[in-house]
Each structure stands twice: as C-alpha cells, then as structure tokens.
C-alpha cells in the first residue's frame, strides 16, 4: 500500500504512540482529581500545554485543548462572535476555508451576523487588499486559513495579522495544515486565535488545540465543568493531549528537514507525471507547501482514476476528505475560477515525512499507466 492522502490524516508516529500508552491504563486519574493519580494526569496535560504553546510562540495559559480542528475552529469563530457582539456583527472570511470554518460562519448568519466571503485569485491565494476593502466599522473578526487543505496554497497570514492589528479587529487562522511546515509565531504574525489538529501531524485523531490570546473577550461555547480554566468543559482526553504535545514538538522541531524531504517527493511525482501524462494541469500554486499536490488530468475523471489507483494499492483523494462522498464539486477549486469539468477531474496527492521517494516514484508510474488505459477507452 502506498498512502498519499496525508492531508486527510496521517499515521500516528511510534514515538507519539509510546508516549500515549501509559495514560490509558497506568496513569488514568481524572486530571481534576486532587489525589496522586489525578495530579500526575494534570502534570502531563500541563507539559503538553507547554509543548503546544512553544511550537507557536504562545504562553501555556493561552492554549485550550479541544476535540480537534473542527471544534477549535467553531470555538474560535462562534466564541469571538458572542464575546464581541456588542461591538459589531460583521465578520470576514474566505471562500476557500475548510467546512469547519465555513459552516460555523453560516450558522452565525442564521442567528443574525453578517459575513463577507473573500474569493482567492486564480492561484488560490487570497489578497490582503481584498480583505482590507471588505472591512467595515462593525467588523469584529477576520478568519483566514494558513494553508489550504486542497491545494496547499499558503495564505499571507502575517500581512493579514498586521492589517487586523492596525484596525483593532481580531484575527483567527486555521493552521491545521500549516503546523510542522510553516513557522508559526502568534506574536510576530499578530494572530489572536489559532486552530490546531493532532491527526494531521502524526498525532492522534479527536484531539486539537485552540490558541486564544490573553485578554481576548472570547466566550466558551461548551458548558459544564471547570476544566481548561473554565474555557472548555469536559473531562480531558488525557492520552490524546499527551500525544498531541509530543507530535507538535516533533513536527515543529523537524520543520526544515521535513520541508526538504517533502519537496523531493513532490518533485519526484511531478516530473514523472509531466513526462508521462499529456496536458497535465497543476492546480497548486508553485510556492504552495510541498506536502500537497493538486492536479487535473483533462479528460480523466477523478473518480475513475482514484478507483483504479485504489485497486493497485495507491491511496489519494479528490479533495478534502470531508467532501469526498459528496457529489458537489470542490468549493475551493470553484472559487479559484476553474471550469467545473476541471474541478471534477482534480486529484490531490498529499505526502508525509513517512513517504519515501521510491514509493512516490512507483505511485507516479502507476498513475501514468492508469491514465493511459483510461484515455484509450
Ligand atoms: C484546514 C482544516 N481545518 C480543519 C480541519 C478539521 O480538523 P479535525 O479533523 O481535527 O476536526 C481539517 C481536517 O480535515 C483541515 O484540513
């Protein structure tokens, strides 16, 4: 099997799994309990909080653990809208966000907020000028992802942060696909809220984190116990949080080496496909993150290509994993202005540090063979 769908999820790294194991059956106290086992569990959570904070240059008390990227996005957006509703009801985001962001904004529209959705240029990148033009007196939040999960396009988050700061508006970024690839510094980039997910960085599924800058009048959206300093109720996912801490420390610590390796993988795939497939169209901008390669092979439907590759043991995707069972064409590629036919033919190969050049070369060779066969029909 050759797994090239790492933007959907990644395998848990051995080191991460080893770090998590004791917290299932040895140190299993409730972190809120005051006895020794509870204190030990609490200590492990606080260590993980430091690991997450350190990866993005935040303070540990600015990190809230969540059940993943989706909850972090929802909490960031809805929590800010509630906290600042007396100041204004206008919010700005983009048309290329993950559904965890888009659907949270749609919910806010249903309850009386106004949202402006900015389109990217044809390269999949949103321009800071377009955001500035959309700003109003009553704008309270700008939310723009750091890296797009379908194309890998890197968004100008430092410039957007600077704009938001100048205009005294809050800035949230969904950094789920950026951790371990881009340098993320919430101070230097003037980021007020940032979402993280464990399973995209060789950590476990069902755990994530939200950075909330101190002093932000953000309102928690989950109510119950006093966990996470009254910011996220519910008994903590102890092994998951420990795993996220180790995973993010590994990812942030190997960022440069990992970028180089991924670049070599993308180059291996691209050069083989360019040589073997006529009229190959690359939908990812040239300076996208090297982990994601979005392509269109004109005349070959993504569905048939992916099905044939799956039968040969090669796993890739037609876009975001959350929309792959749906018949709707990708909202990201449509927003970039691609024709619907090209969007329906788009495939995404996404790499991780665990992929080798040899397996990517083998996968590329099989793609060429399948495309040849399908085009002959
Ligand atoms: C950009 C982006 N945001 C949010 C999410 C949701 O994260 P999770 O699966 O942890 O809920 C994903 C994962 O698909 C993603 O790629």
Model pTM? Answer: 0.97
317: CATH = 3.90.1150.10
Q: Is residue 145 in contact with ligand 1, taking CB distance under 6 Å?
A: yes
Q: What's 231's domain CATH number?
A: 3.40.640.10
Shared-domain flag, residues 346 and 206: no
Report the nearest atom of ligand 1 relative to the CA of 145: 1
Check whether residue 239 and residue 119 sit in a common domain. Answer: yes
Which residue's alpha carbon is at the smallest distance from atom 4 of ligand 1? 69
Has residue 327 got a pLDDT over 70?
no
**Cα 49 to middle of ligand 1, angstroms:** 20
Query: Each residue of 261-311: pLDDT tens digit?
Result: 999 999 999 999 999 999 999 999 999 999 999 999 998 999 999 999 999
Q: What percent of the chain has pLDDT over 70?
A: 97
- Which whole number is the average pLDDT over 186-192? 98
Residue 328 pLDDT = 82
Confidence band of 235 (pLDDT split at 50, 70, 90): very high
Query: Do 116 and 158 share a structural domain?
Result: yes
200 and 218 share a domain?
yes
- pLDDT band at 163; cut points 50, 70, 90: very high
**pLDDT at residue 323 tops 60:** no
Instruction: Phi first, then psi: give them for residue 306, nearest 5 degrees.
Output: -70, -35
Q: Give the number of domains in the chain.
A: 2
Cα distance between residue 15 and residue 329, in whole Å: 38
Residues with Cβ within 8 Å of residue 317, at least 6 apart in sequence: 5, 7, 8, 306, 324, 347, 348, 350
pLDDT average, residue stretch 137-164: 98
β-strand 139-143 against 292-296: which pairing, if any?
A: unpaired
More confident residue, 325 or 12: 12
CB 289 near ligand 1, within 6 Å: no
Centre of ligand 1 to C-alpha 99, Å, is: 8
The answer on 326 and 199 residing in a single domain is no
pLDDT, the chain, mean: 96
**Mean pLDDT, range 350-360, rounded to an integer:** 98
Among residues of the chain, what percentage have pLDDT more than 90? 95
Per DSSP, the three-state class of 146 is: coil
On whether both 162 and 29 belong to a single domain, the answer is yes
Taking residues 140-147, report their average pLDDT.
Answer: 98
Q: Which residues form the domain of 233?
A: 14-253
| 170 and 222 both lie in a single domain | yes
Same domain, 26 and 166: yes
Residues 54 and 148 in one domain: yes
Q: Is 203 in the pocket of ligand 1 (CB under 6 A)?
A: no
5 lines ligand 1 (CB under 6 A): no
pLDDT value of position 145: 98
Asked which of 253, 271, 302 is the last residue of a domain, the reply is 253
What is the Cα–Cα distance from 105 to 90, expressed in whole angstroms?
11
pLDDT at residue 376, rounded to an integer: 79
Nearest CA to ligand 1 atom 16: 149
Kindly state whether residues 238 and 156 are assigned to the same domain.
yes
Last residue of a domain, one of 232, 253, 274: 253
Give pLDDT tens digits for 30-61: 999 999 999 999 999 999 999 999 999 999 99
Distance from C-alpha of 179 to C-alpha of 196, rounded to nearest angstrom: 7
Answer yes or no: is the C-beta of 49 below 6 A from any ligand 1 atom. Answer: no
Ligand 1 atom showing the smallest separation from residue 73 Cα = 4
Surface-to-core class of residue 219, CB atoms within 10 Å of its CB (0-12 exposed, 13-18 middle, 19+ buried): middle
Annotated active-site positions, please? 322
Burial of 311 (0-12, 13-18, 19+ CB in 10 A): exposed
Shared-domain flag, residues 240 and 278: no
CB of 245 shorter than 6 A to ligand 1:
no
Q: What is the mean pLDDT of residues 327-339?
A: 92
Distance CA 338, CA 322 (A): 21
- pLDDT given for residue 321 in this prediction: 59
Centre of ligand 1 from the C-alpha of residue 200, in Å: 8
Residues 290 and 209 in one domain: no
């Amino acid at each position: 099997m050759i797994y090239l769908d790492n933007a959907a999820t990644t395998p848990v790294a051995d080191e991460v799994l080893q770090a998590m194991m004791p917290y299932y059956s040895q140190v299993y106290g409730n972190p809120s309990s005051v006895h020794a086992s509870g204190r030990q569990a609490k200590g492990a959570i606080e260590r993980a909080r430091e690991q997450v904070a350190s990866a993005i240059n935040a303070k540990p008390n600015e990190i809230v653990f969540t059940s993943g990227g989706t909850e972090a996005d929802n909490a960031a957006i809805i929590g800010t809208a509630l906290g600042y509703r007396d100041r204004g009801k206008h919010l700005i985001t983009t048309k290329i966000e993950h559904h965890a962001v888009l659907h949270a904004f749609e919910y806010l529209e249903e309850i009386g907020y106004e949202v402006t959705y900015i389109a990217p240029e044809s390269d999949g990148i949103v321009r800071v000028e377009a955001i500035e033009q959309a700003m109003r007196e009553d704008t309270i939040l700008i939310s723009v992802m750091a890296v797009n999960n379908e194309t890998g396009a890197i968004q100008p988050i430092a410039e957007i942060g600077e704009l938001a700061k100048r205009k005294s508006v809050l800035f949230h970024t969904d950094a789920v696909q950026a951790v371990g690839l881009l340098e993320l510094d919430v101070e230097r980039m003037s980021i007020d809220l940032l979402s993280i997910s464990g399973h995209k960085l060789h950590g476990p599924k069902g755990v994530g984190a939200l950075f909330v800058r101190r002093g932000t009048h953000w309102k928690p959206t989950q109510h119950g116990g006093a966990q996470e300093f009254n910011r996220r109720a519910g008994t903590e996912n102890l092994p998951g949080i420990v795993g996220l801490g180790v995973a993010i420390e590994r990812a942030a610590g190997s960022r440069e080496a990992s970028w180089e390796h991924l670049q070599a993988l993308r180059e291996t795939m691209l050069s083989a496909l360019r040589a073997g497939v006529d009229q190959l169209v690359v939908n990812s901008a040239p300076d996208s993150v090297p982990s994601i390669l979005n392509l269109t092979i004109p005349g070959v439907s993504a569905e048939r290509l992916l099905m044939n590759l799956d039968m040969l043991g090669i796993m890739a995707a037609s876009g975001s994993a959350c929309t792959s069972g749906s018949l709707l064409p990708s909202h990201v590629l449509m927003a970039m202005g691609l024709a619907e036919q090209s969007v329906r033919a788009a495939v995404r190969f996404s790499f991780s540090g665990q992929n080798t050049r040899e397996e990517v070369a083998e996968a590329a060779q099989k793609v060429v063979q399948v495309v040849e066969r399908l085009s002959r029909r």
